[in-house]
């Protein structure tokens, strides 16, 4: 009797040309969720050896289909992986279980989680951040992927087709129903809510709340029309925001900063020719290109540090993005 082949006749990802293109999913999010369901049905929440986990998808551990599936499931954050090479172990992630096991009639949280995993791959985030209101023509999007993001032509075409399928399944660009749209005059006159850094907010898109536990506002775009939160992959429109809990007023009693928080930071002595600023402290952080100095109030409080952290987080993300494009 002939031995069975390693790879069964399940729908196998098509081969991709090797190259310098950044990574991207090999199949859309609905198929990835189904793969998570297959793995959970076989292994539940247990860690499984790579060779065992890939059999849930009909592949051998060393087959190209098995490797591509593992990579794609990682992009979507639907699995956790520990170890290296053939010794890796795999299990479904917490967010995968929350999707798979949610059988409530109200599926708003489940749909929000599916949207979150759909935008987990960096390739998807780049496309959605560039085309948040809808994809441009195929030629324009392909040009963006090839000349801005560094994909070769074949990879760019495959990614665009896969992203379209994912966007359709999740409803990223699904228009509101006519019955849900406010009258034109009311829509034009709508005033964005007053939102401040530190506010805990909810983001509602097409009647769907995106974050079960809310999100914290980190900052705003230069034009003031978009906000960034600790839960969003990109900017969200102010008119989609509802404030759940306002940030604490700056004049509320706050604990002073523990000295231990600043312990170990390199602080060079002030040179004789450098004038010191009364009431401030200076911290210097060594990086590969040189030292980065930060001057802050000497009596800064824990609340002030938290606010500073929010601003620095936004600043570093913008600078990292700018440096990546250089």
* Amino acid 91: pLDDT: 96
**Tens of pLDDT along the chain (326 residues)?**
434 334 444 444 444 444 567 999 999 999 999 999 999 999 999 999 999 999 999 998 789 999 999 999 999 999 999 998 888 999 999 999 999 999 999 999 999 999 999 999 999 999 999 998 899 999 999 999 999 999 999 999 999 999 999 999 999 887 543 333 444 334 434 445 678 888 888 888 767 778 888 888 888 876 777 888 888 767 778 888 888 888 776 544 444 444 444 444 444 444 433 434 567 777 777 777 777 778 878 788 877 777 777 777 777 777 777 777 66
Q: What local confidence, expressed as pLDDT, does residue 291 receive?
A: 76
Domains of the chain: 29-170 (no CATH), 190-253+302-326 (2.30.30), 256-300 (no CATH)
Q: Structure tokens of 175? A: 């228009």
CB-CB contact of 115 with 205 (8 Å):
no
Cβ atoms 197, 217 nearer than 8 A: yes
pLDDT at 319: 76
Nearest to 132 by CA among 103, 168, 173, 161: 173
Chain-centroid distance, C-alpha 213: 16
pLDDT at residue 115, rounded to an integer? 94
Residue 214: per-residue pLDDT: 87
Q: Quick check: 121 and 24 in contact, CB under 8 A? A: yes
């Amino acid at each position: 009797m002939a031995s069975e082949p390693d790879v069964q006749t399940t729908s196998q990802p098509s081969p991709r040309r090797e190259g310098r293109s950044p990574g991207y999913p090999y199949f859309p999010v609905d198929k990835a969720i189904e793969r998570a369901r297959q793995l959970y049905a076989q292994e539940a929440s247990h860690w499984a050896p790579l060779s065992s986990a890939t059999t849930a998808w009909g592949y051998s551990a060393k087959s190209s289909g098995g490797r591509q599936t593992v990579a794609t499931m990682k992009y979507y954050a639907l699995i956790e992986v520990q170890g290296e090479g053939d010794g890796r172990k795999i299990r479904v992630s917490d967010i995968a279980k929350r999707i798979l096991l949610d059988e409530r009639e109200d599926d708003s949280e489940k749909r929000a989680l599916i949207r979150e995993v759909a935008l987990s791959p960096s390739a998807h985030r780049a496309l959605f951040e560039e085309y948040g209101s809808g994809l441009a023509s195929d030629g324009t999007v392909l040009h963006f992927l090839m000349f801005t993001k560094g994909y070769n032509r074949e990879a760019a075409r495959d990614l665009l087709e896969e992203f379209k399928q994912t966007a359709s399944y999740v409803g990223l660009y699904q228009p509101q129903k006519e019955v849900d749209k406010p009258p034109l005059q009311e829509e034009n006159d709508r005033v964005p809510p007053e939102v401040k850094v530190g506010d805990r907010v909810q983001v509602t898109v097409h009647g769907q709340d995106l974050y079960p536990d809310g999100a914290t506002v980190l900052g705003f775009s230069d034009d003031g029309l978009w906000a960034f939160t600790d839960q969003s992959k990109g900017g969200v429109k102010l008119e989609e925001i509802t404030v759940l809990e306002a940030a604490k007023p700056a004049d509320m009693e706050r604990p002073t900063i523990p000295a231990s928080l600043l312990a170990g930071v390199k602080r060079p002595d002030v040179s004789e020719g450098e004038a010191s600023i009364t009431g401030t402290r200076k911290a210097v952080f060594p990086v590969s290109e040189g030292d980065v100095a930060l001057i802050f109030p000497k009596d800064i409080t824990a609340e002030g540090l938290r606010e500073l952290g929010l601003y620095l987080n936004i600043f570093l993300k913008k600078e990292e993005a700018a440096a990546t494009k250089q």
